[in-house]
Amino acid sequence: MSDSTVHPEGGSQTVAATAQLTGILRRVASLGDILERSVGDATHPLKIQLERFDSPVHAVIDGRPTTLFGTNSYLGLNFDPRCIAAAETALKTWGTGSTASRVASGNQAGHAELERTIAAYYGRPDAIVFSTGFMANLGSIGGLAAEGDLILYDAFCHASIIDACRASGATFKSFRHNDPADLDRMLSEATVPPSRTLVVLEGLYSVWGDLGAVKDLATVAKKHGALVLVDEAHGLGLYGPTGRGVTEAQGAEHLVDAVVGTFSKSVGVIGGYCVTSHPALKALRFLARSYLYTASLPPAVVASARTAIGIIASEPERRADLWRKAERFCAGVEALGYSMCAAPGPVGAIKMRGLVQGLGFWRELLERGIYVNILVPPATPSGEVLLRYSVSAAHTDADIDLFLGVLSDLSQMSQTA
């Protein structure tokens, strides 16, 4: 590959370099050219670099102090002194990495202790820890379902769930988002027996910030005798009396066979898990390829995850504080006339008119010291351009006032479609 292809210096040079390529390299380079042209030279999300962190939600970007409303640190635990101290101790005692998979030498006491902590937190007998939430879905769904089985998943489910369905070898189809009648119809019409059917949904959908109809959907699945798996990646720490997620908040845990979660959001590190009451699911440890064939989590991550889960379980006041701030923020946004995708909550999205207006609005916010996520198709459920925000317990009231003040200044640009 020529150097000009690897390090394109400008649009026309890139296109010229692409024209000399063939086959796979040409296809990939053309896609790169299209993406480069569509974002132009101006700032875009992939260019953003956080130069320094002053708190879970305060950073320096491009030399400018910036308040972050686009992280998944919903409870601010990535900077909690107890989590940091646990990580430091583990780092000094156990070293920097596990250097192997759980089935080789990567099964340390800390991993087993973390699994016991998670199982006890959910009041279930077993939990399996994976190295990311993505891998937890790949391993749990791909470990459970196989050729000849059927997976029915909510149409708004995350990419990791869809990739897991593909990897499983099972037949898979989506039902309409949060539509129990559609799920009922699909289960009634299925030719695969219900005992060989897995229904997959999420607790909190992270793009719009709307809740899964977990109880209603799981009730339908159970009526037919299907298994239910709920991904609580974003709901953990935010919903339910003990923070176990939307499934807990809706009183639906008894209807759910397995819960998948991640440590990369409220928990503040990286990793994922699957927790279950079925003894049969012990076999997941031998079946889940993303458990068997990848290195286990580093000891410092394991220690801080365990500490953070203890905090989530025992400090409901953090959740209450987050909700107070989220409700105040959402009330302010609605009062300014912005169009939100879902009911008020710590995670949500403001509708933009299209890519050009959305990117312009996102850049204006950034220049005024506010960072949010811009989401564009195919990452959005119905092809909209959205500004996704997340409120954190680590935000101060002044941070929220600052964001609302900027939104007020920019309200002229925010005419919704």
Binding site for ligand PMP (CB under 6 A): 132-134, 137, 158, 160, 202, 206, 231, 233-234, 262, 264, 272
Beta strand pairing status for 197-202 and 227-231? parallel
Smallest distance from ligand PMP to CB 43, Å: 23
Q: Is 278 part of the annotated catalytic residue set?
A: no
C-alpha–C-alpha distance, residues 403 and 410, integer Å: 11
User: How many other CB atoms are there within 10 angstroms of residue 364's CB atom?
Assistant: 14
Nearer to ligand PMP, 58 or 234 (CB): 234
Closer of 229 and 394 to ligand PMP (Cβ):
229
Shortest distance in whole angstroms from residue 234 CB to ligand PMP: 6
Q: Select 8 or 237, whichever has its Cβ closest to ligand PMP.
A: 237
**200 contacts: CB under 8 Å, gap ≥ 6:** 141, 151, 152, 153, 154, 157, 161, 165, 228, 229, 230, 231
Smallest separation (angstroms) from ligand PMP to the CB of 304:
14
State the catalytic residue, choosing from 98, 174, 206, 266.
206
Catalytic residue among 58, 224, 234, 395: 234
Q: How far is the CB of 231 from ligand PMP (least distance, A)?
A: 5
Nearer to ligand PMP, 110 or 271 (CB): 271
Distances (CA, A) of 327 to 300, 318, 330, 379: 34, 14, 5, 26
Tokens of 413: 């640009």
Q: Whose Cβ is closer to ligand PMP: residue 8's or residue 348's?
A: 348
Length of the chain in terms of residues written: 417
- Helix (H, G, I), strand (E, B), or coil: what is residue 14? helix
Catalytic, 206? Answer: yes
Q: How far is the CB of 391 from ligand PMP (least distance, A)?
A: 17
CA neighbor of 303 nearest in space, from 144, 131, 83, 92: 83
Closest chain position to ligand PMP (CB)? 133
Residue 204 CB, shortest distance to ligand PMP, in Å, is 8
CA distance 338 to 317: 30
Residue closer to ligand PMP, measured from CB, 17 or 200: 200
Which of 58, 215, 265, 395 is an active site residue?
265
Interstrand relation of 373-375 and 347-351 (parallel, antiparallel or unpaired): unpaired
277 token code pair:
């009451």
Burial of 387-409, coded b for 16+ CB within 10 Å and e otherwise, reads bbbbbbbbbeeebbebbbebbee
Catalytic residue numbers, as ranges: 206, 234, 265
